[in-house]
């Protein structure tokens, strides 16, 4: 069992106070970079990182419920990058793949949640790719919380794939390179991203105190606000989340103006 500090009566009273202070306007789209699972497992003396990844997955399910309760409409979770697939220890990666598949199945059974895989399916183990495809298709018509699962994901790869898709469609129509160059726009690239049709994230949260993007939603986060939490992934508390939302609401978003 993972740590559960600060959950006594005073904590609950503070949570209630924060909820009452929540702004009427909350982010439409929140992106979460769950980080620190392996460090969490080491600090507690576990002999396998899988304990941290399981605790982190459970925390992400809890985090999504917090978002849903607050009225946030879209949440993107960064679960497994392209770099992870190439560089992680094979045994740890095998455990992590099983944990992600289990989490995807669990989320797809939440009432009216829509679960969508974003990433390169062809680079994933076939069993995991099949699970992600199945939950994406089964929940496609749902209209509740939209959950993007970034698995086998890389922001640079996403932009490359978007441009390739634009070029392929332009070629099918018989257009010239000159015409393509003249017509290419940021909006056109955005439409061909894995998240095409969705609003960009308003707020990007990262746990564990690290302050970097790690190739996550590079294009979409151009005008996002960022909030970094010191807590390791499994130790994230609702109070940390509510503080992030309160901090976001107090910022002056200028979008380059």
* Kind and range of the H or E run holding 146: strand 146-153
Given pLDDT bands bounded at 50, 70 and 90, which one contains residue 24?
A: confident
Given pLDDT bands bounded at 50, 70 and 90, which one contains residue 20?
A: confident
**Residue 3 pLDDT > 70:** no
**Residue 244 pLDDT > 90:** yes
Residue ranges in 33-88 assigned as alpha helix (H): 37-43, 50-70, 82-87
In the chain, what percentage of residues exceed pLDDT 70? Answer: 96
pTM attached to this predicted model: 0.91
pLDDT tens-digit map of 123-165: 999 999 999 999 999 999 999 999 999 999 999 999 999 999 9
68's CB contacts (< 8 A; 6+ apart) are 113, 144, 145
**Residue 13 pLDDT > 90:** no
| Average pLDDT rounded to a whole number, residues 217-228 | 97
Average pLDDT, the chain: 93
Given pLDDT bands bounded at 50, 70 and 90, which one contains residue 204?
A: very high
Residue 199 DSSP label = P
SS3 228: strand
| Of 11-25, 51-65, 114-128, 133-147, the least confident | 11-25
Given pLDDT bands bounded at 50, 70 and 90, which one contains residue 1?
A: very low
Would you state the pLDDT for residue 12?
A: 78
> If one looks up domain 27-155+199-243 in CATH, what number appears?
3.40.1180.10
| Average pLDDT rounded to a whole number, residues 167-187 | 93
Q: Respond yes or no: is residue 84 known to be catalytic.
A: yes
Residue that the structure tokens 């995991």 belong to: 128
Residues 35, 214: Cα–Cα separation, whole Å: 11
Domain definitions of the chain by residue range: 27-155+199-243
Query: Of the listed 82, 84, 95, 200, which one is catalytic?
Result: 84
Given pLDDT bands bounded at 50, 70 and 90, which one contains residue 15?
A: confident
CB 129 within 8 A of CB 164: no
| Of 12-26, 51-65, 237-251, the least confident | 12-26
Strand partners, 205: 32, 227
Q: How far is CA 141 from CA 115, 119, 145, 146, in A?
A: 10, 20, 12, 11
Given pLDDT bands bounded at 50, 70 and 90, which one contains residue 2?
A: very low
Q: How many CB atoms lie within 10 A of CB 219?
A: 16
For residue 153, which phi and psi values (nearest 5 degrees)? -110, 145
Query: Which has the closest alpha carbon to 159: 207, 117, 221?
Result: 221
Would you state the pLDDT for residue 7?
A: 66
Q: Respond yes or no: is residue 35 known to be catalytic.
A: yes
| Average pLDDT rounded to a whole number, residues 182-191 | 96
């Amino acid at each position: 069992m993972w740590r559960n500090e600060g959950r006594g009566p005073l904590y609950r009273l503070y949570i209630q106070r924060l909820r009452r202070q929540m702004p009427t306007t909350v982010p439409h789209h929140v992106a979460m970079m769950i980080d620190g699972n392996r460090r969490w497992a080491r600090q507690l003396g576990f002999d396998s990182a899988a304990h941290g990844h399981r605790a982190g997955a459970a925390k992400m399910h809890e985090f999504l419920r917090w978002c849903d309760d607050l009225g946030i409409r879209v949440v993107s979770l960064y679960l497994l990058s392209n770099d992870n697939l190439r560089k992680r220890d094979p045994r740890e990666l095998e455990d992590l793949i099983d944990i992600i598949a289990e989490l995807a199945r669990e989320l797809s059974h939440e009432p009216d949640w829509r679960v969508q895989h974003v990433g390169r399916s062809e680079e994933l183990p076939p069993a995991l790719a099949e699970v992600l495809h199945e939950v994406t298709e089964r929940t496609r018509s749902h209209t509740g919380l939209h959950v993007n699962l970034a698995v086998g994901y890389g922001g640079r790869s996403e932009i490359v794939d978007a441009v390739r898709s634009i070029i392929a469609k332009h070629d099918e129509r018989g257009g010239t390179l000159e015409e393509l160059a003249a017509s290419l726009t940021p909006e056109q690239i955005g439409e061909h991203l894995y998240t095409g049709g969705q609003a960009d994230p308003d707020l990007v949260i990262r746990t564990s105190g690290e302050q970097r993007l790690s190739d996550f939603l590079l294009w979409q986060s151009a005008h996002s606000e960022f909030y970094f939490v010191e807590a390791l992934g499994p130790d994230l508390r609702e109070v940390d989340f509510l503080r992030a939302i309160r901090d976001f609401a107090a910022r002056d978003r200028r979008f380059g103006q």
